[in-house]
Amino acid sequence: MSTTEKVGESVATYVDQRVGSNRFLGRSLKKVFPDHWSFMLGEIALYSFIIVLLTGVFLTLFYKPSMVEVVYDGSYVPLKGVMMSEAYASTLDISFDVRGGLLIRQMHHWAALLFIAAMSVHMFRVFFTGAFRKPREFNWVIGISLITLGLGAGFSGYSLPDDLLSGTGLQIARGIVQAIPIVGTWGAFLLFDGEFPGTEFISRLYGVHILLIPGLILALVTVHLMMVWTQKHTQFPGPGRTNDNVVGYPLMPIYMAKAGGFFFVVFGVTALIGGLVSINPIWIFGPYTPDQVGAGSQPDWYIGWLDGALRIFPNIETVLFGYTISWNIFIPSVIVPGIVFTVAALYPFLEAWVTGDKRDHNLLNRPRNAPTRTGIGVMAITFYFLLFIGGGNDIIAITFDLSINAIIWFLRIAVIVLPPIAFLVTRRICIGLQRRDREKMLHGYESGRILRLPHGEFIEVHEPLSLKERAVLESAIESYRAPLPAPEKVDANGVANKHYRRDMIRYKLSRWFYADDIVPPTRQEIEAGQAHVSHDAALEAPLHEYDEDETVMVPFHGGVLHTAGEPATNREQLEERGGNL
């Protein structure tokens, strides 16, 4: 044992005697995590959040959250002598007079964009694979909360430099608050300490941006990860993978090296982008003043869909008993996002109620094996992208020389019509894929090779599925569920069902959810089908008699060429390595 290890051991003992850490380490260092590229999405979100925290701390050392007007005297010549808020002046100083300041500012902004993007894609991965199902519903709700907080963090940070663009964003935010019925006017006056823009809002937002929201995100991320740890990660179907095990690599050393290394990769890439690609060049926009605006005002991408909703909503306003209700602002900016986030958070519970599925699910669904859910997801994405297009309608109109009125009218109609169409099309595609999977399970691959048998018959040789493909395709058996049975008004003992109406709704929804799914073949049918296919392949065997090549097809990993004598399974590989992990 080397000296370093001896010191390490005594430290471990010292700590263990005080907090009992060795018990935890013993269990945890061998903890298995399954592997899949899509599991990195959540990692990217976590790492970009850490980068945002680190770069953010650096920025707080130089940024002044104050709206006091000062005369700029920094090194950016075009703005010399211009009156501006201290917030804007200090952001200019970070960009021009602190060495590396612009790099850190741009890294902060890029990492923030990456944080929200990674969270969003991660959410869709979880949604489409059904990873939110029991027992992981709470973690889904936490995830939706994290995305909501991420939007708040992004918007509050975007507003801090107090440049012309961010101030316009705040003006819009104030207009939205003012449009909330009954409490809106007072709410706006309380938030802004009076009229717009006032002198307090930036410093208030600063507290929210650097303490309140990151604190909440940090707390929720911690719970999110602890739950992933306790519940163990879900896995995709594959050889050896069941609903009751985890197949993958141990934390020490594989995941420490891979996940730890990946943090540095994300950090490094963010730094490269931050050094190379300019973002939010606030010195071009100029200081904020409430009577000016730049053409083509665009929010950051994650606010785009909300801005789009605000842009395309018809101009409806009612005056009722002398009070104004601004539907044109209140609905797209408060009601729509409210519904979107609430429905998203409740989705796991809604689906569980409709399907009546109370099983634990640790094996992920393939999206095609849950056609209705996949359809709903694509419907949501379609809705989102139409609003997102709305958020850039002026840019689109200019770039493609289109009428902005035509774009808005298209979107007003499309946002209602296209999502249901996307749902139906997606669902049909999924069901088609299910049908093809069923064919493959029963009849193997079409090899494209025509064989003439001794008695003259021609057949097309079908090839058996590899082990991996069978494991993946046969996960349809686990995913499949028949619709709930129809409820009865009166049960066998003549007792009336009090919840008949509720049960009837549930029954109909369950049918809508499941009824069109393709019933997968049974295990016996698959075995028989694959045996038949192998028989076909055996007819070809005489053709291979003269093959001198040592290379044979071993059916795994999609049927790769495999040299005879090389280890072909975990066991053989381990034996080759001396049975030592």
Partner 1 sequence: MSDLTTRGGASAPDHGHGHGDVPADDLARPLYEGPGALPAADIPHRPRRSDFDPKAARRAERQVSALFLLSMLMVVLFVVAYVAIDPYADVYIPMFGVVGFQTFALGLTFGLGVFCIGAGAIQWAKKLMPDVEVVQERHSLASTSHEDVEAAEQYERGKEESGFAQYKIIRRTLIAALALFPIPLVVMLRDLWSPKNGSFGPSPVELLSTTAWVEDMPIVTDGTYVKIRPEDVPVGGLVSALPENIMEIQEAEHNLNARGKAAIILVRMEPDEIRAQQGDGWDYQGILAYSKICTHVGCPIALYEHRTHHLLCPCHQSTFDLADAGNVIFGPAARRMPQLRIGVNAEGYLVAKAPFAEPIGPSFWERG
Site for partner 1 in 466-495 (CB under 8 A): 467-468, 470-471, 474-475, 477-478
Nearest of 354, 387, 366 to residue 508 by alpha carbon:
354
DSSP string, 89-134: HHHHHHHHTSTTHHHHHHHHHHHHHHHHHHHHHHHHHHHHTTTTST
Residue 549 burial (CB < 10 Å; 0-12/13-18/19+)? Answer: exposed
SS3 561: strand
Give the amino acid at 336: V
In the region spanning residues 117 to 136, those forming contacts with partner 1, defined by CB under 8 A, are 135
Beta strand 561-563 with 445-452 is unpaired
- 447 membership: H or E segment, kind and range: strand 445-452
Q: Which stretch binds partner 1 (CB under 8 A): 3-11, 355-363, 371-379, 426-434?
A: 355-363
Contact 416, 314 (CB under 8 A): no
CA distance readout (Å), 435 to 310, 397, 445, 463, 519: 42, 43, 14, 18, 9
> What string marks each residue from 510 to 549 as x (binds partner 1 by CB under 8 A) or -?
-------------x--x-----------------------
Q: Which stretch binds partner 1 (CB under 8 A): 206-214, 353-361, 427-435, 455-463?
A: 353-361
In the region spanning residues 432 to 461, those forming contacts with partner 1, defined by CB under 8 A, are none
CA distance 559 to 83: 70
> What string marks each residue from 358 to 397 as x (binds partner 1 by CB under 8 A) or -?
xxx-xx-----------------------------xx---
Contact 29, 251 (CB under 8 A): yes
Residue 423 C-beta: closest distance to partner 1, Å:
27
**Residue carrying structure tokens 């990195």:** 40
Nearer to partner 1 by Cβ, of 264 and 512: the residue is 264
Q: Which stretch binds partner 1 (CB under 8 A): 342-350, 505-513, 544-552, 571-579?
A: 571-579
Q: Which stretch binds partner 1 (CB under 8 A): 207-215, 487-495, 543-551, 564-572?
A: 564-572
Residue 254 C-beta: closest distance to partner 1, Å:
5
Residue 376 C-beta: closest distance to partner 1, Å:
23
CA distance 450 to 284: 69
Residue 459 C-beta: closest distance to partner 1, Å:
26
**How many CB atoms lie under 10 A from the CB of residue 262?**
16
CA distance 183 to 367: 44
Among 22, 75, 222, 342, binds partner 1 (CB under 8 A): 75
How many residues of this chain interact with partner 1, rule: CB under 8 A? Answer: 152
- 85 membership: H or E segment, kind and range: strand 83-85
Contact 154, 169 (CB under 8 A): no
> What string marks each residue from 236 to 275 as x (binds partner 1 by CB under 8 A) or -?
-xxxxxxxxxxxxxx--xx--xx-xxxxxxxxxxxxxxxx
- 576 membership: H or E segment, kind and range: helix 570-576
In the region spanning residues 183 to 242, those forming contacts with partner 1, defined by CB under 8 A, are 183-186, 188-199, 230-232, 237-242
> What string marks each residue from 86 to 105 as x (binds partner 1 by CB under 8 A) or -?
----------xx-xx-xx--
Residue 546 C-beta: closest distance to partner 1, Å:
27
Residue 155 C-beta: closest distance to partner 1, Å:
15
Residue 455 C-beta: closest distance to partner 1, Å:
35
CA distance 180 to 391: 21
Residue 349 C-beta: closest distance to partner 1, Å:
15
Q: Is 558 left (phi over 0), alpha (psi -120 to 50) or beta?
A: left
Q: Which stretch binds partner 1 (CB under 8 A): 36-44, 178-186, 217-225, 442-450?
A: 178-186
Nearer to partner 1 by Cβ, of 22 and 573: the residue is 573
CA distance 142 to 119: 12
Q: Which stretch binds partner 1 (CB under 8 A): 147-155, 209-217, 352-360, 487-495?
A: 352-360
In the region spanning residues 304 to 343, those forming contacts with partner 1, defined by CB under 8 A, are 307, 310-317, 319, 322-326, 328-329, 332
Q: Is 559 left (phi over 0), alpha (psi -120 to 50) or beta?
A: left
Residue 257 C-beta: closest distance to partner 1, Å:
4
Residue 356 C-beta: closest distance to partner 1, Å:
8
